[in-house]
Amino acid sequence: MALSSYYRSFSFLLLFVTSISTAAGGLLGVDYGRDASNIIPPQRVVELLKTNGIGAAAIYDDDVGVIQAFRDSGIKLTISLRNEKLADAARDPNYAGTWVREHVGNFFPATQIEAIAVGNEVLDKRLDLAQYLLPAMQNVYNAVNNLGYADRIKISTPVAFSAVSVSFPPSQGRFRDDLKNLARQLLDFLQRTGSYFMVNLYPFITYRDVPNIDLDYFLGQPNYPGVRDTANGLIYKRLLDAQIDATYTAMADLGFGVSDTPTSTTVGASLQSGVKRKIAVKETGCPNCSRRPRRNQVTTAGGILNTSLAEKGCSLGNAQTYNRNLVERMLSGQTGTPLFPNSDMDVYIFSLFNEDLKGGGESEKSFGLFYSDGTPVYDMPSFSAAGRSSWCVANPAVGQQRMQAALDWACGQGGADCGPIQPGSACYEPNTVEAHASYAMNSYYQKRGRGAGTCDFSGVGQIVYQRPRQLCEVGRNSWCVANPAVGQQRMQAALDWACGQGGADCKPIQPGATCYEPNTVEAHASYAMNSYYQQRRHAARSCDFNGAGQIIFERPSFGNCDFPSSK
């Protein structure tokens, strides 16, 4: 990465193009660069990550020694095919196949390779390589697919945020005109292969280079009043969120995610309840401008602050505040944005180490959470869920066969407590592979103290930090609500049946009654379906409604309406 003076020039956010799980939460990791003197070896890095509860890392090359060091660690790893190998990978499928075999086939799944980044910032700094980018990605994907891993390893490429020419207001985000064709082709590839859109976001650079950006806005301080999107009125309390939503709307402008984007200056209802998204910010952070002190120098919070060299915003205090706020936010499960409040988000903090061998100014060398010998630059909270509530659930994107395999292993060899999901037991309903697999996987995860790697299940599991609405727990009440993904026509049919033939108590959703507002098909259908479900004391399939219903274990929230329960 090179931090140019152009404030939008960044790289690496993982944006899920397709719909994903309804469970809220996200992955928290670090970017592991090695341009530093006296840096600790990869084996010690793995131990450092484990000690600090860091469950994911990304490297910027394909060093087999590093890939081997992560073997059996339980830590997810992103590897890279560097720019200098792009042309060969594009021209020769055999070259790409050999590279994949040597760097993926020889290690996966013992090394949990999460993604392959093909090239780096080609659409920004290396347009001369643009002709090779998509052919190389396709050849790498084909090679991974030939190994049978295409549904478990994502293939993408980091795009600099400079590709977004309009970033404010966020609802008007647009890609640069000269890059729109390439971006459209890239998004099409990612959508076809079920992969990520990668872009890096550095609010620090915006604060440094753009006048009148508030410090608290850049740092993501919880008490900041916010900045208003002048087009739709949404309030942004974090600059990072504004950059994420600008990227979303730039994608929508090219036809990807259009159904989630308002077509007017107001926020439509379809925006708030549309396709669920997941974002993984693969590179974001703040430099600390702190170097290891020489003998007899006065230190500040573990390092010497080079005030004569420091750029605006580059300080140890700002770095600690930005990254601490980000970690606390992720561990609390607050992964949504103003435009997509229900979305999930993965975050990779740049970077693990201060890298004194990098070119550029002071900031470029001092993004690290640690010095190269493994000692911390400043105090940070653990990245793990230790001491915090967390759950392990199935990712339905992997398919029923793999979820079933995880369920069978957890209930068998894993020793999970699967009694409650047997027929007639408290958590048998909903009787779906996803629900049962999530219950069993979470039982295994909790029994093993939520340790590193105990929610992997060969890529089926994902850790979330908010109680999943659809995860049954013995003793908890349940409700039946409409699944908005089925569309208004099927929700209306379920509403009509429940209030008619089903005999649900629908008086509270009549005009002027207590639950008439909000006057939407989803809210009214949910009330009627829940009335039917509760009347039948949660009987099997009483929340099916031809696939329009879903059982949840958290009281529904539709305005001020109180949904009845059996308790």
pLDDT tens, 55-84? 899 999 999 999 999 998 889 999 999 999
Residue 475 tokens, joined: 């003793």
Could you read off the pLDDT of 305-319 as tens digits, one per residue?
Answer: 444 446 899 998 899
The pLDDT, as a whole number, for residue 176 is: 93
The domain spans of the chain are 14-365, 391-464, 479-552
Instruction: State residue 183 phi and psi, 5-degree precision.
Output: -65, -40
Q: Check: CB of residue 288 under 8 Å from CB of residue 302.
A: no
Q: Determine the Cα–Cα distance for residues 423 and 452; give it in Å rounded to an integer.
A: 32
Q: How many CB atoms lie within 10 A of CB 228?
A: 12
Tell me the three state secondary structure of residue 48.
helix
pLDDT value, residue 20? 26
DSSP percent split of the chain into helix, strand, coil, nearest 5 = 35, 15, 50
Residue 298 scores a pLDDT above 50: no
Residue type, 132: Y
Please tell me whether residue 208 adopts helix, strand or coil conformation. Answer: helix
Catalytic site residues? 121, 283
Pick the CATH number of 14-365 from 3.90.1150.10, 3.20.20.80, 3.40.50.2300, 3.40.50.720: 3.20.20.80
Instruction: Check pLDDT > 90 for residue 90.
Output: yes
**Tens of pLDDT along 182-221?**
999 999 998 899 888 888 899 999 999 999 999 999 999 9
What pLDDT, in 10s, does the model give residues 409-437?
Answer: 999 999 999 999 998 887 888 888 999 99
Q: How far, rounded to the nearest angstrom, does the alpha carbon of residue 175 sit from its chain's CA centroid?
A: 22
Q: Is the pTM of this model over 0.75?
A: no
